[in-house]
Amino acid sequence: MHIKTLVLDKFKSFGRKTEIPFYEDFTVVTGPNGSGKSNIIDSVLFALGLARTRGIRAEKLTDLIYNPGHDGDEAAGNGPLEASVEVVLDNSDGTLDRTQVVNAAGTDNVGDVDEITIKRRVKQTEDNYYSYYYLNGRSVNLSDIQDLLAQAGVTPEGYNVVMQGDVTGIINMTPYERREIIDEIAGVAEFDAKRDAALEE
Ligand code: ATP
Ligand code: MG
């Protein structure tokens, strides 16, 4: 399974609806400082529910909505009131099977599961804000998305996304801490936890 397309609409610096293609295996995004490369990664974490606002460099969810005055060159406060990010996953290798998608969506009506779309919207009103998740167009909860992705090995605690600074962090760890990460990625940590729990009983 891999990301096929990202559709950003009024997300951070993406003031216009922008479709970004991703290739199987390897895609590189290049551009000058401040051009929005990291915002693309933030958008994936946002849409897939993999990070809290701090992890995507925002104090509150509504900071993620495109703000024409963000860099102080235009009057702030007259921007759009809604942002969305859609992640289109190519699941043609069957990483997730139909039943898993149907269970997460809570309906049989999920269409073709060769392609899975996960979308998140954040909407601002006068005195509140709202966040919505969709799976193949069906409204779902964050936990539905997280449970589904966990079955493909994608979790908030996982190392699916290596952030700026993570590499230096890993280099500076003690060998024991580094080993814990490898256990986590290899899936051994889960069994260690279960064994410890069993021994305690
Ligand atoms: P670098 O090479 O320095 O890492 P980058 O390409 O990763 O740069 P980003 O961090 O993705 O750049 O983008 C930063 C830009 O996004 C800044 O110019 C910032 O003003 C802009 N930005 C962030 N949030 C918003 C927002 N809500 N509305 C408009 N622009 C925003
Ligand atoms: Mg960056």
Establish if 13 belongs to a structural domain. yes
**Do 134 and 180 fall into the same domain?**
no
What pTM, to 2 d.p., does this model score?
0.87
Q: By CB neighbour count within 10 A (0-12 exposed, 13-18 middle, 19+ buried), where does 46 fall? A: buried
The ranges of the chain with pLDDT < 70 are 73-77
Q: What is the pLDDT of residue 57?
A: 87
User: Residue 144 C-alpha to ligand 2 middle, in angstroms?
Assistant: 30
User: Residue 37 C-alpha to ligand 2 middle, in angstroms?
Assistant: 6
CA nearest ligand 1 atom 24, residue: 12
**Residues with Cβ within 8 Å of residue 5, at least 6 apart in sequence:** 19, 20, 21, 22, 86, 87, 88
**Do 183 and 92 fall into the same domain?**
no
Q: What is the pLDDT of residue 53?
A: 75
Query: What is the domain count for the chain?
Result: 2
Q: What is the pLDDT of residue 150?
A: 94
Establish if 25 belongs to a structural domain. yes
**Do 151 and 177 fall into the same domain?**
no
Establish if 140 belongs to a structural domain. yes
Find the domain containing 201 and state its range.
Answer: 165-201
- Cβ(69)–Cβ(79) below 8 Å: yes
**Do 43 and 139 fall into the same domain?**
yes
Q: Quickly count: other Cβ atoms within 10 Å of residue 192's Cβ.
A: 12
CA distances to 8, 138, 162, 177 from 119, in Å: 10, 9, 22, 35
For the CA of 10, the nearest ligand: 1
For residues 25 and 2, give the distance between their C-alpha atoms in angstroms, rounded to a whole number: 8
CATH number for position 134: 3.40.50.300
**Do 197 and 145 fall into the same domain?**
no
**Do 151 and 172 fall into the same domain?**
no
User: Residue 158 C-alpha to ligand 1 middle, in angstroms?
Assistant: 25
**Do 83 and 180 fall into the same domain?**
no
**Do 173 and 142 fall into the same domain?**
no
Q: How many residues does the chain have?
A: 201
**Do 151 and 180 fall into the same domain?**
no
**Do 95 and 193 fall into the same domain?**
no
For the CA of 34, the nearest ligand: 1
Q: What is the pLDDT of residue 123?
A: 97
Establish if 160 belongs to a structural domain. no
Comparing CA positions, the residue from 147, 132, 182, 20 lying closest to residue 87 is 20
